Chains A and B, each alone.
Chain A
Amino acid sequence: GAGVSQSPSNKVTEKGKDVELRCDPISGHTALYWYRQSLGQGLEFLIYFQGNSAPDKSGLPSDRFSAERTGGSVSTLTIQRTQQEDSAVYLCASSLRSASTDTQYFGPGTRLTVL
């Protein structure tokens, strides 16, 4: 079946511009996560959705970052007034979140470059 998809795969933007990153989770997966991966670093948690609600936003680095999820499916991560330190790969993962497993399945990521 279809896996997690993300778009765009690459985004180059100028400092100060806003960007939107999209994630389409696996159909039926109720949990959705956003992570950021910088070169040579581990995955940094950003935000978690259960359905359309975001009970854990603790990883968002600043108020320039926001995310929403609609219809319990597609999610959009928005970064306003981008800075060079926002350059990274943004990964989305989804999970069935059942009683027996919380395994996350990842998308291919969006590579964001802020000039």
Chain B
Amino acid sequence: EDQVTQSPEALRLQEGESSSLNCSYTVSGLRGLFWYRQDPGKGPEFLFTLYSAGEEKEKERLKATLTKKESFLHITAPKPEDSATYLCAVQDRDNFNKFYFGSGTKLNVKP
């Protein structure tokens, strides 16, 4: 069964139009939730790690939040250079070796 589901699959925004990406997960116990950015032809680039519900992390125009069942990546006033695929991954608390990745949200920010 799917452990991590990301929505939407694709998102088109105008420059400056804020929005949120969703990552919902079903692992029984969460050790950590990770957000990555992936540009075409490149490996995922680490953005944030969240460990507990209520935690928030910020970096420039990005803000990640975590609840017991999902995480949001909020993008405030995006710019075209924010266009990329954003991946979410969860680490199973009962098996630290297991990281489950979502299929990603492909973000396209138009100038």
Contact = CB atoms under 8 A, between A and B. Distances in A.
Given A48-B97, A55-B97, A56-B97, A42 B104 contact: yes
Interface stretch (B11-19, B43-51, B58-66, B67-75): B43-51
A41 interface: yes
Interface residues of A, number: 24
Contacts of A103: 32, 34, 46, 49
At the interface, is chain A mostly helix, strand, loop or mixed? strand
Interface centre among B32, B43, B96, B103 (most CB of A within 10 A): B43
A104 B43 contact: no
Tier of interface size on chain B: 20 to 34
Interface of A: 4, 6, 33, 35, 40-43, 45, 48, 55-56, 91, 93, 101-109, 111
3 nearest A-B residue pairs (beta carbon): A106-B43, A43-B101, A42-B103
29 contacts: A6-B43, A33-B99, A40-B103, A41-B103, A42-B101, A42-B103, A42-B104, A43-B101, A45-B98, A55-B97, A56-B98, A93-B43, A101-B49, A102-B31, A102-B91, A103-B32, A103-B49, A104-B34, A104-B46, A104-B89, A104-B99, A106-B43, A106-B45, A106-B46, A107-B43, A108-B42, A108-B43, A109-B42, A109-B43
